[in-house]
């Protein structure tokens, strides 16, 4: 099949692929339309064995797909009406369907559209080209489509390529958008079907072949994180040094939980030894919760940071650390020793910066331009660093608001790849992992993970997974992507058993062993 199962393409890339194939005479426009329509019909037949279908035909390619699908469905015995916008320009497919002699009704879309009696609504109003708000009269129609679906629980909406009103490039809703039960998307996934809110509107996404030859589908900087990759085999003769000595600088008197969650998660993710640097006052909590941890009070650490960091392969600093003067001194001590390490091995060490460590660094950046701030970070932090900010923390690092980050996340992700050697984990409902010149979109996890401490668990997993970089079996970005997949999979497994609403961060740690057992095919590498 001519489709990318692990790749993600932008609307512009897909349009260029189609035009290229048609201009070279490899495939005709009608052939592309009818191949896509055939895929739509297969899904409709799977959902409803017979019944009434309303095919909503817009002015572009999606409208042509809807006209062709209407003809195919009528041939199979479905009762089909095509509701068309009067500006439709695909007269060829319209003519074929009307001239077929099949009993296909034709109606004009206006504010009086009535879809209550249909089993299937095929949404072919607008496709991947839309990047502006729907006109008020069309937005009104979309609202009516969604209202009718809410009132008729048996009805199913199938969107063609992308739900109408969703920007396929970035996932933004342009005023109103169709809320699909199923979206049949062609050739490759689009960013807007993975990023929220587009992902919420898309429902179940089916990837289908639209007839574009594989040779015309370009290589993309985007990849999908769909599941936990197959991880390298552990050394059967290994020991705690082999499996990783991790230094975790985390926690404070008012926030001990972050340190405990990160340390537990690190151990559950395969670390051989975790040394926790945290205030001495919380030693009882450490002994009770993670007795396996090697404890180091802050006072002892300050006496000789180089000695306490000696022999450690991975450093994690930040969860629950605080941003006061002592916390800043801890960060400076870690960064100073790390900068002096003489890495005689190709992959000698790795450092994960999370939460308050990032906030402290952000407070020291003075540039106003986001690109320059990224370059400043790249100069400050040498290679072998993973940064794991959520949107607000990333906004502080780049000197802009979290909302602007959310709206322009792909723009900033590409900027990061261009300007920085550091790996960035952009935490959100759809986490992006940026590194190796690739932007990876995470599709694991659920809203139950939107709870305090979830990020601390991810930090611990990331630190442990970074040992695969030390061993030379994975790049640092691949380690971060594997950690994100494990984190999300643990959340999905927990949600299956206890529900999303009741999920808390500690549950993610408890379900990590099962997440490691849920591995499947590794990401395809080019």
Which stretches does DSSP call E strand in 142-239?
156-160, 182-186, 188-189, 204-208, 222-225
How far apart are the C-alpha atoms of 178 and 123, rounded to whole Å?
Answer: 8
How far apart are the C-alpha atoms of 81 and 67, rounded to whole Å?
Answer: 10
* 182-186 β-sheet, strand order: 104-108, 79-84, 52-57, 120-124, 156-160, 182-186, 204-208
Sign of CA dihedral 164, 170, 176, 177: positive
Radius of gyration of the chain, Cα coordinates, nearest whole angstrom: 26
Q: Range of 176's domain?
A: 4-220
Answer yes or no: do 203 and 302 share one domain. Answer: no
Answer yes or no: do 147 and 249 share one domain. Answer: no
Answer yes or no: do 271 and 138 share one domain. Answer: no
Answer yes or no: do 84 and 216 share one domain. Answer: yes
CB 127 within 8 A of CB 160: yes
Determine phi and psi for 221, rounding to 5 degrees: -80, -5
How far apart are the C-alpha atoms of 186 and 200, rounded to whole Å?
Answer: 18
Answer yes or no: do 134 and 209 share one domain. Answer: yes
For 361, 380, 385, the CA distances from 365, given in Å and listed in that order, are: 7, 10, 18
Name the domain count of the chain. Answer: 2
Question: Does an H or E element contain 277, and which?
Answer: strand 273-278
Would 522 be classed as within a structural domain?
Answer: no
How far apart are the C-alpha atoms of 321 and 249, rounded to whole Å?
Answer: 7
pTM metric for this prediction: 0.94
- Comparing CA positions, the residue from 249, 272, 243, 244 lying closest to residue 262 is 249
* Tens place of pLDDT per residue across the chain (526 aa): 577 777 899 999 999 999 999 999 999 999 999 999 999 999 999 999 999 999 999 998 999 999 999 999 999 999 999 999 977 667 789 999 999 999 999 999 988 899 999 999 999 999 998 888 888 989 999 999 999 999 999 999 999 999 999 999 999 998 899 999 999 999 999 999 999 999 999 999 999 999 999 999 998 899 999 999 999 999 999 999 999 999 999 999 988 999 999 999 999 999 999 999 999 999 999 999 999 999 999 999 999 999 999 999 999 999 999 999 999 999 999 999 988 775 544 557 999 999 999 999 999 999 999 999 999 999 999 778 999 999 999 999 999 999 999 989 999 999 999 999 999 999 999 999 999 999 999 999 999 999 999 999 999 999 999 999 999 999 999 999 999 999 999 999 999 999 999 999 999 999 999 999 975 433 333 3
Would 90 be classed as within a structural domain?
Answer: yes
Determine phi and psi for 453, rounding to 5 degrees: 95, -15
Answer yes or no: do 10 and 73 share one domain. Answer: yes
Answer yes or no: do 212 and 249 share one domain. Answer: no
Answer yes or no: do 143 and 64 share one domain. Answer: yes
Answer yes or no: do 162 and 302 share one domain. Answer: no
Answer yes or no: do 200 and 332 share one domain. Answer: no
CB 503 within 8 A of CB 211: no
Q: What is the CATH number of the domain that holds 26?
A: 3.40.50.10260
For 233, 239, 273, 348, 374, the CA distances from 236, given in Å and listed in that order, are: 9, 9, 17, 22, 41
Using CA atoms in the order 61, 67, 68, 74, what is the torsion angle rounded to 10 degrees? 160
Would 239 be classed as within a structural domain?
Answer: no
Would 226 be classed as within a structural domain?
Answer: no
């Amino acid at each position: 099949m001519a489709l990318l199962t692990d790749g993600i393409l932008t609307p512009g890339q897909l349009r260029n692929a189609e035009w290229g194939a048609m201009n070279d005479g490899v495939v005709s426009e009608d052939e592309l339309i009818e191949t896509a329509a055939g895929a739509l019909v297969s899904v409709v037949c799977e959902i409803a064995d017979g019944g009434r279908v309303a095919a909503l035909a817009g002015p572009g390619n999606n409208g042509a797909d809807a006209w062709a699908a209407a003809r195919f469905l009528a041939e199979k015995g479905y009762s089909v009406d095509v509701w068309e916008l009067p500006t439709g320009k695909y007269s060829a497919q319209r003519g074929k369907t009307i001239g077929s002699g099949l009993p296909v009704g034709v109606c004009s879309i206006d504010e009086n559209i009535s879809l209550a009696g249909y089993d299937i609504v095929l949404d072919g109003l607008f496709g991947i080209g839309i990047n502006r708000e729907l006109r008020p009269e069309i937005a009104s129609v979309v609202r009516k489509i969604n209202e009718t679906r809410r009132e008729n629980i048996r009805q199913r909406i199938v969107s063609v390529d992308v739900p109408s009103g969703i920007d396929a490039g970035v996932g933004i809703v342009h005023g109103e958008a169709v809320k699909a039960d199923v979206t049949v998307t062609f050739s490759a996934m689009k960013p807007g079907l993975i990023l929220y809110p587009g992902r919420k509107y898309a429902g179940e996404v089916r990837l289908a072949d639209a007839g574009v030859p594989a040779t015309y589908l370009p290589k993309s900087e985007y990849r999908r994180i769909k599941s936990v990759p197959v991880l390298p085999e552990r050394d059967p003769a290994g020991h705690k040094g082999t499996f990783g000595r991790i230094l975790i600088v985390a926690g404070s008197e008012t926030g001990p939980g972050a340190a405990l969650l990160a340390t537990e998660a690190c151990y559950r993710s395969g670390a051989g030894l975790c040394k926790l640097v945290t205030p001495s006052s919380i030693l009882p909590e450490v002994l009770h919760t993670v007795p396996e941890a090697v404890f180091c009070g802050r006072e002892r650490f300050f006496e000789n940071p180089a000695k306490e960091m000696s022999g450690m392969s991975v450093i994690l600093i930040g969860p629950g650390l605080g941003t006061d003067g002592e916390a800043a001194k801890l960060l400076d001590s870690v960064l100073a020793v790390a900068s002096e390490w003489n890495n005689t091995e190709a992959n000698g060490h790795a450092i994960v910066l999370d939460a308050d460590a990032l906030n402290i660094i952000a407070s020291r950046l003075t540039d106003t331009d986001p690109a320059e701030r990224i370059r400043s970070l790249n100069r400050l932090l040498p290679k072998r660093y993973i940064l794991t900010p959520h949107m607000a923390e990333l906004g502080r690092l780049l000197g802009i608001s979290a909302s602007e980050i959310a709206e322009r996340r792909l723009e900033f992700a590409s900027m990061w790849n261009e300007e920085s050697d550091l790996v960035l984990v952009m935490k959100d409902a759809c986490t992006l992992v940026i590194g190796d010149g690739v932007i990876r979109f995470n599709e694991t996890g659920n809203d139950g993970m939107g709870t305090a401490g979830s990020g601390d668990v991810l930090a611990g997993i990331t630190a442990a997974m970074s040992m695969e970089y030390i061993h030379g079996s994975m790049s640092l970005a691949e380690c971060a992507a594997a950690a994100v997949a494990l984190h999300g999979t643990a959340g999905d497994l927990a949600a299956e058993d206890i529900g999303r609403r009741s999920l808390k961060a500690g549950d993610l740690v408890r379900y990590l062993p099962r997440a490691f057992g849920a591995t499947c095919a590794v990401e395809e590498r080019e």
